[in-house]
Amino acid sequence: MSPASPVSGPHNSFRDLGLRVGHVTRTGPGQRTGVTVVLVGAEGATAGVSVRGAAPGTRETDLLSPLCLVDRVHAIVLSGGSAFGLASADGVARALYADGIGWPMGAPGEVVPIVPAAVIFDLGRGGDFGAFPSAADGAAAYAAASLGQVAGCGSVGAGTGAQAGGLAGGLGSASAVLSDGTTVAALVVVNAIGSPVDPRTGQLYAVAHGLPGEFPDLGSPGAGALAAYLRARHTELGESGLVPGGATTIGVIATDAALDKAQCAKLADVGHDGIARAIDPAHTMLDGDTLFALSTAARPAPDLGGLFALHEAAASCVTRAIGHALLTATSAAMWPGTGQERLVESYRDAFALSG
């Protein structure tokens, strides 16, 4: 097998790297939001970041520069709630501190957890603009991850209140194993202003980039359903859809290959190509597209050819994760009790697909 021909891992998800993922999903009265936490273990992991969108909401991204001192992180937080949702990372940091995990600062127990974070805009989608994740939600997601609970995909965690191109967005994951045994995986929250649907065919852009047999055969969307979607899309973009900072695709790429901070940053950067394959347009003035990259260093550092193969596979995992997010998302009534109230349908429901 060539380095450019990976296969998916056993679970086709972050689970293939042994990383723990925990969610808090809030869908009570007025709420449609949540938090997702990725834990990397007490020793931490090397990390980098790439921010391509023009309206990001982030924490600790400057620290991840290769020019900066700290070279390991202890968790990554993805959250709803726009800038308010960054508070969820504080709950994760406090929980890590209570467990004695963090950057050592002196005597035993004197540690500072390093917890980068990124958020999506989902304010008001549950009906209450002020219902956003808190530090307590971050701590609860940390607890869920610590227990090793199997995290799902779709309209869960940080993807609970997401939408993409007028359809229900969500959280998705995918993995790949290269010919030398290196594993790479992506976990992505899809909340884009751009569309995941090819307007010529009604197919998801991401599905065309799937591995053999990865995605179900959904059939061809009917012309009527496609026309209805395009009309709704035109109305959305012409009226209330263009909210500054109102969209964002965020996520985490991870690999067991040993990478330094600069290489992690480049891996995150190349991962954005995967967003651009699945969402059109991506990285706009209205999006805050941000990807983190982690290295657990469980395997040796790749040579130049291995690094190229890793980049290619990482971008592919991001695209495929977006496809899984869209196919597992569920329809939901958003903005209930307001003048914007409407049903945001999943891709499957909007195009009457059941495969």
Contact 315, 274 (CB under 8 A): yes
Residue 245 pLDDT > 80: no
Give me the count of residues in the chain. 355
Q: Domain spans of the chain?
A: 14-350
Rg (CA), the chain: 19
SS3 272: helix
* Cα(104)–Cα(218) distance, integer angstroms: 51
* Cα(326)–Cα(168) distance, integer angstroms: 7
Where helices occur in 64-170 by DSSP H, the ranges are 87-98, 135-146
User: For 252-302, how does the pLDDT look when each residue is reduced to its tens digit (9 = 90+)?
Assistant: 999 999 999 999 999 999 999 999 999 999 999 889 999 999 999 999 999
Looking at residue 72, what is its pLDDT?
A: 93
Instruction: Find the mean pLDDT for residues 148-169.
Output: 90
* Cα(117)–Cα(180) distance, integer angstroms: 31
pTM metric for this prediction: 0.95
Q: Which residues contact 69 (CB under 8 A, 6 or more apart)?
A: none
* Cα(254)–Cα(79) distance, integer angstroms: 18
Going by pLDDT thresholds of 50, 70 and 90, the confidence category of residue 241 is low
Query: In the Cβ-directed half-sphere of 160, how many Cα atoms lie within 13 Å?
Result: 27
Residue with tokens 């993807």: 159
Percent of the chain residues past pLDDT 70, beyond the cut? 95
CB atoms within 10 A of CB 103: 16
* Cα(248)–Cα(256) distance, integer angstroms: 27
Is the domain 14-350 a CATH 3.60.70.12 member? yes
Instruction: Find the mean pLDDT for residues 317-335.
Output: 96
Looking at residue 246, what is its pLDDT?
A: 73
* Cα(223)–Cα(236) distance, integer angstroms: 20
Query: In the Cβ-directed half-sphere of 323, how many Cα atoms lie within 13 Å?
Result: 28
User: For 189-227, how does the pLDDT look when each residue is reduced to its tens digit (9 = 90+)?
Assistant: 999 999 999 999 999 999 999 999 999 888 888 889 999
